[in-house]
Amino acid sequence: MNPWLIAFTGTLPTLITIVDTSIVNVSPDHIRKSLSATYDESTYAITAYLVSNAIIIPMAVWFSRLIGRKKFLVWSIVLFSMSSFLCGSVWCLQSLLFFSIVQGLGGGAAWCRSPNPSCSKVSPVEKTAWPSSAWVPC
C-alpha cells in the first residue's frame, strides 16, 4: 500500500475537525440570528463542542483498544459527519447543543486517533517514516 495514501487518509480527519472548530468559533452571530437566541446562548454551542471534544480525547485510546483502532476511527468519522450534517439542519437551540456535543465526541475521537494509520505497522518503517512526518505527534 502506498504510504503517502495512508498518511493522507490518516491526516484528513484531523484537517476536517480543525476546520470545524474554526467554523464553530465564528458562528455565534449566525446561530443567534437563525435560532433567535441571545449571544450568550449561541456561545453554548462552542462550549458544548469543545467540552465534549476534551472529554473524549483521553478516552479515545481505551475505546480504540476495546473495539479496534480501525473500527473506532471509522465510527468516529461517521459520527462526526452525521452530527455535522444534523448541526447544519437544526430546528432549535437545544437540538444544536445536543448535536454539537455528539459532533465534539466524534471529532475529538477522529482527531486523536487519525495519525495512527500512518504510524502503525502497515508498512516497514523505511517506507512510512517520511509520510508519517506529515503528522508530527507520531
Contact 103, 91 (CB under 8 A): no
With 60 as the cut, is the pLDDT of residue 117 above it? no
| CA distance linking residue 70 with residue 6, whole number of Å | 12
Using a pLDDT cut of 90, give the percent of the chain over it. 38
- Domain spans in the chain, listed from the N-terminal domain onward: 3-132
DSSP 1-59: --HHHHHHHHHHHHHHHHHHHHHHHH-HHHHHHHHT--HHHHHHHHHHHHHHHHHHHHH
User: Each residue of 65-81: pLDDT tens digit?
Assistant: 899 888 888 899 999 99
User: Each residue of 44-70: pLDDT tens digit?
Assistant: 999 999 999 999 988 988 898 899 888
Cell 509520510, located at residue? 131
